[in-house]
Structure 1
């Protein structure tokens, strides 16, 4: 009898530990009144004062938040790091002017570009401090999944004979400006009829690390209307063009477990028409399959499961052709790409719009604002059948959640 009671208690303890992990509180860095805040569970904490914060990013283990401060219009961004354990912000170096920074997928090392130079932080007393130069002439970059190398783009130059090809390089973290360590990875041959581009950006790795997606961007005015979504194998031997889209990296999402790439296709800089959710199997031999019904546009997306995608959808507005661009009153929909079934997920009131869907574990989150407001609220629900509730009030933009996945 005693043994049976002991086994029962052990089982209950094990079950409780599993539930405790599953129900870990949401944690997010967010911006309210231009200041950096932290919310964990029900507790909100203001982290900065008297500055203009943008682009908070979590380190892999959640100990650090990188962010920039600058002028109200976003100019002159200076890199700061907030140490969650020590509850303080600090400068990783005297002054780092950058708007492009990314944490390592394997460590608390931060890489960033400044003036075309790629740099990585050193480590001092257990936190990112100081920096080392890695490579010159860098356009955009991304860490390889191993945390030991970068894929780097270098913009082409205009010669009397036309634009050069777009070149990609594989750069080890410890290159330290040694060009002998930097290897050509792939050269994208471009021309003005089939594929024209002068740079590559918005690199994103597939879940198995075998493919890297990115945007090939043409000259400035042209890129406002059309960019080329492409993929390249992790060893640089298979390049494929996927489709045309705007230069919005957040509109490109890999499926959580499969090599399927979802994106919002369509050319034209205005959101009033021709913006369709599309999914491509990678590598691909067919045209991506589109899921947006006729008469609608999709303006954001997020994977909920390997077969389900959440999109922010609005009715298209082909009648508009001049004057202020109309606000597209988006609502969240769920698309099952296996069955083709679609259903409305959120129901904002008149003149409200739901966008920026994010999925954290089993929680669905979105940003709800109104047509003329410059602030909004963050709403959440647990899974599809959960009760929606407001989680954050009066925030400037959608938050950045810390996700252990």
Structure 2
């Protein structure tokens, strides 16, 4: 049979053979118009209605999303959970008022503070439900990588002789208010002319768990312009004051495979100048290298690999002195740490800016904001592809992501 005839027969009898399309192995939880949504593959699903959602966080295995249900006035801040298996929203306990919560890195347990009390959820029918009191007098906290202990801080108080030290403790999750189980890790001496803070928080562990980084927060007016960035060894024996920066949690991040901390340094609450990306190498006597060229500011960062970092960069605006604060039109640059080569990788239009870069598996995502609306679209690019595409439209803030059903960072 001639080949042309055979081809004609195949096309005639099998015209609708399906083409298999590789499904994107990313799942996003995101907020649109103050409601919680997820996107998996090409499907978007709205999870809440008539709520005021913020701060969604995935559990370690991707089954649950914890979030805050608040209000526009900031008078309400209740903890809720969405169960993707049962497809339901619920409160782990009636009216938990909190703004600080964190999933265990190894189990579906949720730690949170209510007032100055640290609690950890119990489990009921496989779900986080109810709670156990853990410790009193807690200002901020985070899980240890083992999921059994937590690092907690206590606020400094002003006494006649000056500010008390800020104390950091290691406590077991089953402490049950037994003060004898708390182990003092370190006391941070406070000096208004040097390292000044009244509390510390935003704890982040290095990839190997040897170090924990955190931000100090001074009195409110001072904190708008300067916050100390510090690191402490996991055994509490080595403390380092790395520098000063603004109080943005996403502005300092550990390298994926080394004890290196990248951060945006620089005092002053306005973004127009003095915002410099540095990397502190704790293995080389805290050596710090600056990567922001003169005439520019860096306003966010993300590690791509052990040798590459992405920053959100804009030209300085030193001419601004008063009036409305100018918008800094950031685009993304990739920095090769070995060669110090710096290459622009996104090109927003005049009325757009690129912010919130995230690397999840082989994918880079970011939010392209419209200046007029302050909302944006999530763009995505795979490392082996040249072209970026819009993945999620009209988000309030950057999504939180899972790769193949697991948290990757």
Task: Say yes or no: TM over 0.5.
Answer: yes
| Structure 2 residues not aligned, in runs of 5+ | 1-19
Q: Specify the alignment match of 1:209 in structure 2.
A: 209
Q: Specify the alignment match of 1:228 in structure 2.
A: 228
Give, in angstroms, the shift of residue 287 of structure 1.
Answer: 4.3
Q: How far apart, in 2, do the equivalents of 1:251 and 1:100 lie?
A: 19
Give, in angstroms, the shift of residue 284 of structure 1.
Answer: 4.7
Q: How far apart, in 1, do the equivalents of 2:369 and 2:193 lie?
A: 42
Judging changes above 3 Å, is the alpha-carbon distance between structure 1 residues 165 and 384 closer, same or farther for their aligned structure 2 residues?
Answer: farther
Give, in angstroms, the shift of residue 161 of structure 1.
Answer: 1.2
| Structure 1 residues not aligned, in runs of 5+ | 1-19
Q: Specify the alignment match of 1:42 in structure 2.
A: 42
Count the aligned residue pairs. Answer: 385
Q: How far apart, in 2, do the equivalents of 1:103 and 1:250 lie?
A: 18
Judging changes above 3 Å, is the alpha-carbon distance between structure 1 residues 304 and 182 closer, same or farther for their aligned structure 2 residues?
Answer: same
User: Is residue 2:349 matched to residue 1:349?
Assistant: yes
Q: How far apart, in 2, do the equivalents of 1:191 and 1:283 lie?
A: 27
Q: Specify the alignment match of 2:66 in structure 1.
A: 66
Q: How does 1:179-328 map to 2 (within 5 A)?
A: 179-328=179-328
Give, in angstroms, the shift of residue 74 of structure 1.
Answer: 3.6
- Give SS of 2:271's match: coil
Larger CA Rg, structure 1 vs 2: 2
Q: Could you list the per-position Cα deviations for residues 241-290 of structure 1 after superposition, in whole angstroms to 9, with x for gaps in the alignment?
A: 11111111110100111111000000001111000110011145254111
Q: Specify the alignment match of 2:400 in structure 1.
A: 400
When the two chains are superposed, the root-mean-square deviation of aligned CA atoms in Å is: 1.4
Normalising by structure 1, we get a TM-score of 0.93
Q: Which has the higher contact order (CA 8 A, sep 6+)?
A: 2
Instruction: Decide whether the 8 Å contact of 2:281 with 2:287 is kept in 1.
Output: no
Judging changes above 3 Å, is the alpha-carbon distance between structure 1 residues 135 and 51 closer, same or farther for their aligned structure 2 residues?
Answer: same
Q: Specify the alignment match of 2:10 in structure 1.
A: none
Judging changes above 3 Å, is the alpha-carbon distance between structure 1 residues 283 and 75 closer, same or farther for their aligned structure 2 residues?
Answer: farther
Give, in angstroms, the shift of residue 70 of structure 1.
Answer: 1.2
Q: How far apart, in 2, do the equivalents of 1:228 and 1:384 lie?
A: 38
- Give SS of 2:138's match: coil
Normalising by structure 2, we get a TM-score of 0.92
Judging changes above 3 Å, is the alpha-carbon distance between structure 1 residues 50 and 257 closer, same or farther for their aligned structure 2 residues?
Answer: same
Q: How far apart, in 2, do the equivalents of 1:395 and 1:195 lie?
A: 38
Q: How far apart, in 2, do the equivalents of 1:239 and 1:298 lie?
A: 27
Q: Could you list the per-position Cα deviations for residues 322-370 of structure 1 after superposition, in whole angstroms to 9, with x for gaps in the alignment?
A: 1111111100000111110000010111110000000110001000012
Judging changes above 3 Å, is the alpha-carbon distance between structure 1 residues 241 and 23 closer, same or farther for their aligned structure 2 residues?
Answer: farther
Q: How far apart, in 1, do the equivalents of 2:190 and 2:52 lie?
A: 40
Give, in angstroms, the shift of residue 395 of structure 1.
Answer: 1.1
Q: Specify the alignment match of 1:377 in structure 2.
A: 377
